Structure 1
Amino acid sequence: MITADAARRRYVAIAFLTWLPAGLYTAPLVLLMLDRGLSLGAIAAIGAVYSITIVVLELPTGGLSDVLGRRPVLAASAVAGLAGLALLGLTGAVWLLVLSAVLRGVARALSSGPAEAWYVDAVHAAQGRDADLGPGLARGGVAASAALGLGVLAGGLIPFLWPGAATGDPAVPDTVPSGLAVPVLLAAVCELVLLLVVLFGMPEARGSRPRFGAVLRGVPATVGTGLRLAGRDHVLVRVLLVAAATGTGLAVIELLTPAWMAVLSGGAGRGVLAYALVAAIGFAADAAGSALGVPLTRWLGSPGRAACAGTVLAALALGGLAGTAALDGWVGVVAAGAAYLLMFLGLGAAVAPVGRLLHDRVEAGERATVLSVQSLLLQLGAAAGSVALGALAAAYGPGPAFAGAGLLLAGAALTLWGLPRRRGVRPRALLLRHVGPRIPARDRPREDRIPRS
């Protein structure tokens, strides 16, 4: 068993390495496949394969982590990510790019939950169920956002700094990889580093290893238990509702902002630069917000209020984006950047308190499954938001779509205010009903005194 401080440090490192590859390959992804002769339709189909793989495997992989263990599942995620990114960086064949999308989707589904579940399990083992999870969850959020921000900036800059990358200089030997492929290959190297960190720096309690057949039988049962818990626990229902609404808001941002930036800045080239700057501001604000989650919880007195406040701020920022849709030129870009900053600041501030609400309602054997349910609902919310609010934006412009996403997110956020933290904490009236009328402490035996909750 390791100490809580050691678990926190390792969790932060794993969170950083988990999200750094995604940041590195996101910026050049579409341009790399266009450079290899694929059409936009083919690229969209490959992206759909990636998304469908995640949705299909999200719950089974969470159940697998609860049955088999956190470390083997996260190690398998790193192996799948390494293979998928190596294919993406080195091949141009369509069927191999489809295989790459499947492997990257498998990696994403496998990595959804095990690291956070391992950290919570380790802290509970070291300090008990009353341990404060907030600081570690907040630092993990900071690390993930910093990794995405640094990765996106590096992934955007490396292709232009690589020999012959910007002009396709024929003097550059064929043995030199395309500048667009370099960030992808660096992302594969990061997956290798993650694999080593997981194998050698993520200790897990040794137990009897289940047989393969037992694993296959145990996963559906674990998934079913997690789903039933998520559906009947009123706190988890509200947390998961916020996840779905957050997915809708993020989908609208990712769908509409790039083209909108091109319109505001006066061209596609300037639009790419404007969107890169706005996205970097968003990731930096998300990291700052994650660091503010714990102090915000202390100031407001409960994780429910802190999660509500952060998410409402994000919803108001979406409303602000709707207002900036009426602005033109770089004034509109600056205003959109300010709204982006506030939105991701709010979402980041909600990470730690939402995590505390969730983990205080689940046990170790169902933790990764419930995290997978949360991730699945975020993605389903994103899919629904892309379709519904995308159609709204096509008909009436981006303003109504941003406003609709903000209203949905605000409505979900308000359900978090005043939520209890611990499962099983009952109101005073119910407690008195079960233990009878209150007897003064001096008149009852010591062993019969009821501890204060």
Structure 2
Amino acid sequence: MTGRSVLRRYLVVSFLTWLPVGLMMPVMVLLMTSRGLSLAQVGLVTTVFSAVTIALELPTGGLADVVGRRKVLALSAGFTVAALVMMAMSTTVWMFLVTGVLKGVARALSSGPATSWYVDTLHEIEGRDADLKPGLARGGAMESAALCLGVLAGGFVPLLLGPGGPILPLAEPLLRPGGPISPLAVPPLLGAVAAVVLLVVVVLAMPEPSHARRSLGGVLREVPRTVAGGLRMAVRGALLRRLMLAAAASGVALAAVELLTPGRLAELAGTAELGGAAYAVVAALGFAGSAAGSSIAPWAARAAGGSARGAAAGAVLTALSIGGLAATAGLDGVAGLASAGLAYVVMFAGLGVAGMLCLEMTHNAVTAAQRNTVTSTSSLSLQAGAGLSNLGFGALATSAGMAAAWSVAAGLVLVSALLFARMPALGARETAPVPLEAGQRPAG
């Protein structure tokens, strides 16, 4: 293989890895509520997903080092197929909880193997000095493209198949509104098909590069040390501790909109199918807003007088946009749809600015020996913030309304902006090396 062919395969795998997620995203909440789940129960399901992902993220990173990237990514694709088929067929909260577990396993398994495969293979072909930035940047672009196209398709397919839709006469024998097979269940099934394609591509087009593999016993011994070391660094380092809390606040913001916005848009649009289509458009624009926020992050840092101040500005913008959702929760019709869409896009732009600058500060605060562990800990913080928020916001929205839940989320994110005030100077590296066996790298 050549570097160009490796890049092409990496881009295809990156696209197919996130396409199933995009397809199921706009209908996930609506499908569960249409099957009789309350918002509190939906929050419980998503919390289970987050908990499983948190528990398995670091261990599955070690597993990829032992058995190889291709096998772990293929296993992730298999779990994705099972999860999305289960989602389409689920009719009770217990079935959706099983779906959440399967999705969490799939997400944890897919975290990192494709990128590691690309880096390992390119190093083998072009040497350790190979330029990774262009390929990794294009891989990220393919992931965003997959999410954007996936949410648009996943949102509009139920509309085409629903009452009055142009495809209904052809699909009516197979689709039963409210039953196990309904228009809202079709996007997860399409996501399962995409995951099958991913499985085939991974098995046939991702030859495993040669690399030193560790024994399973060695990995099992290292994983607890890795987890403990990452937590120790995050707790003891003043700068990293603040950045981990900021990541948790980002999880709060994401949970607030991803859990409650689909139902809000369905209420405004009049039907679940129209709500799914509206959410698809809003989510696609949100991904564009996130990309724009990341792009302008360097400018925001310069304009604000530093990365910490730029990240604080991004957090404030995020909080204000969620507050806008709360303030306009009483609007109806087009005005309500427009205000919700605008707030969603602005929120993702704010998260893009804050997230990119926090990532920069995190990498500047650690050495290469600790980089994977710390970034994995940051991901765990985000998942933890989202998981707890899904549980709390679902119950709060059920008892007090969406405006109350969004108001609480806005307040928490606004308070998180204070984390960037008088940030400790980077100076000397403030983390201690994680104990590793000779020749090993941190799992993450």
Number of residue pairs aligned between Structure 1 and Structure 2: 417
Aligned to 2:145: 146
Q: Following TM superposition, by how much is the alpha carbon of 1:40 offset from its aligned partner in structure 2, in angstroms?
A: 3.2
Aligned to 1:341: 345
Corresponding letter in the other structure for 2:104: G
Superposed counterparts of 1:246-261, under 5 Å: 246-261=250-265
Q: Describe the shift of the 1:67–1:275 C-alpha distance in structure 2 as closer, same or farther (beyond 3 A).
A: same
Deviations 1:87-110 (A, max 9, x none): 556899999876654332211122
Q: Following TM superposition, by how much is the alpha carbon of 1:25 offset from its aligned partner in structure 2, in angstroms?
A: 2.0
Aligned match of 1:166 in 168, 173, 176?
168
C-alpha separation in 1, matches of 2:193 and 2:380 = 28
Whether the 8 Å contact between 2:291 and 2:352 is mirrored in structure 1 is yes
TM-score (norm 2): 0.73
Point out the more displaced range, 17-26 or 68-77. Answer: 68-77
Point out the more displaced range, 67-76 or 312-321. Answer: 67-76
C-alpha separation in 2, matches of 1:253 and 1:300 = 27
Aligned to 1:229: 233
Q: Secondary structure at the match of 1:289?
A: helix
Q: Describe the shift of the 1:252–1:43 C-alpha distance in structure 2 as closer, same or farther (beyond 3 A).
A: closer
Q: Secondary structure at the match of 1:377?
A: helix
Q: Secondary structure at the match of 1:333?
A: helix
Aligned match of 1:40 in 37, 42, 47?
37
Whether the 8 Å contact between 2:29 and 2:263 is mirrored in structure 1 is no
Q: Does 1:412 align with 2:411?
A: no
Whether the 8 Å contact between 2:235 and 2:241 is mirrored in structure 1 is yes
Corresponding letter in the other structure for 2:349: L
C-alpha separation in 2, matches of 1:300 and 1:105 = 38
Q: Following TM superposition, by how much is the alpha carbon of 1:344 offset from its aligned partner in structure 2, in angstroms?
A: 0.8
Q: Describe the shift of the 1:236–1:324 C-alpha distance in structure 2 as closer, same or farther (beyond 3 A).
A: same
Superposed counterparts of 1:201-220, under 5 Å: 206-220=210-224
Aligned to 1:314: 318
Q: Describe the shift of the 1:8–1:402 C-alpha distance in structure 2 as closer, same or farther (beyond 3 A).
A: farther
Q: Following TM superposition, by how much is the alpha carbon of 1:357 offset from its aligned partner in structure 2, in angstroms?
A: 2.4
Q: Does 1:304 align with 2:301?
A: no
Q: Secondary structure at the match of 2:168?
A: coil
C-alpha separation in 1, matches of 2:305 and 2:334 = 41
Corresponding letter in the other structure for 2:416: A
Aligned to 2:19: 20
C-alpha separation in 2, matches of 1:110 and 1:203 = 18
C-alpha separation in 1, matches of 2:221 and 2:36 = 42
Whether the 8 Å contact between 1:137 and 1:351 is mirrored in structure 2 is no
Q: Describe the shift of the 1:416–1:74 C-alpha distance in structure 2 as closer, same or farther (beyond 3 A).
A: farther
Uncovered stretches (5+) of structure 2, i.e. residues with no partner = 431-444
Q: Does 1:288 align with 2:292?
A: yes
Uncovered stretches (5+) of structure 1, i.e. residues with no partner = 427-453
> Greater CA radius of gyration, 1 or 2?
1
Whether the 8 Å contact between 1:23 and 1:148 is mirrored in structure 2 is yes
Q: Following TM superposition, by how much is the alpha carbon of 1:151 offset from its aligned partner in structure 2, in angstroms?
A: 0.7
Superposed counterparts of 1:29-428, under 5 Å: 29=28, 39-40=36-37, 44=42, 50-64=49-63, 73-85=72-84, 101-114=100-113, 142-161=141-160, 166=168, 182-195=186-199, 206-265=210-269, 270-297=274-301, 302-363=306-367, 366-394=370-398, 396-416=400-420, 424=428
Corresponding letter in the other structure for 1:247: G
C-alpha separation in 2, matches of 1:32 and 1:304 = 40
Whether the 8 Å contact between 1:357 and 1:421 is mirrored in structure 2 is no
Deviations 1:374-423 (A, max 9, x none): 23322322233234445554555433432332232132234236757967
Q: Following TM superposition, by how much is the alpha carbon of 1:232 offset from its aligned partner in structure 2, in angstroms?
A: 2.0
C-alpha separation in 1, matches of 2:271 and 2:184 = 22
Whether the 8 Å contact between 2:156 and 2:276 is mirrored in structure 1 is no
Q: Following TM superposition, by how much is the alpha carbon of 1:212 offset from its aligned partner in structure 2, in angstroms?
A: 2.0
Corresponding letter in the other structure for 1:256: L
C-alpha separation in 1, matches of 2:205 and 2:356 = 23
Deviations 1:117-153 (A, max 9, x none): 7789989x9569xx997x8877665544432221111
C-alpha separation in 1, matches of 2:374 and 2:142 = 22
CA RMSD of aligned residues (A): 4.6
C-alpha separation in 1, matches of 2:36 and 2:400 = 28
Whether the 8 Å contact between 1:165 and 1:179 is mirrored in structure 2 is no
Aligned to 2:437: none
Q: Following TM superposition, by how much is the alpha carbon of 1:46 offset from its aligned partner in structure 2, in angstroms?
A: 6.2
Q: Secondary structure at the match of 1:40?
A: coil
Q: Describe the shift of the 1:262–1:419 C-alpha distance in structure 2 as closer, same or farther (beyond 3 A).
A: same
Aligned to 2:433: none
C-alpha separation in 2, matches of 1:111 and 1:232 = 30
Deviations 1:129-179 (A, max 9, x none): xx997x8877665544432221111112234546996368566799xx976
C-alpha separation in 2, matches of 1:249 and 1:241 = 13
Deviations 1:218-253 (A, max 9, x none): 222222222222222222212211111111122222
Corresponding letter in the other structure for 1:22: V
C-alpha separation in 1, matches of 2:310 and 2:138 = 16
Whether the 8 Å contact between 1:84 and 1:100 is mirrored in structure 2 is yes
Point out the more displaced range, 142-151 or 235-244. Answer: 142-151
Point out the more displaced range, 395-404 or 347-356. Answer: 395-404
Whether the 8 Å contact between 1:302 and 1:421 is mirrored in structure 2 is no
Point out the more displaced range, 144-153 or 245-254. Answer: 144-153
C-alpha separation in 2, matches of 1:362 and 1:11 = 28
Whether the 8 Å contact between 1:62 and 1:372 is mirrored in structure 2 is no
Q: Following TM superposition, by how much is the alpha carbon of 1:372 offset from its aligned partner in structure 2, in angstroms?
A: 3.4
C-alpha separation in 2, matches of 1:295 and 1:8 = 30
Corresponding letter in the other structure for 2:377: V
Point out the more displaced range, 372-381 or 8-17. Answer: 8-17
C-alpha separation in 1, matches of 2:210 and 2:85 = 32
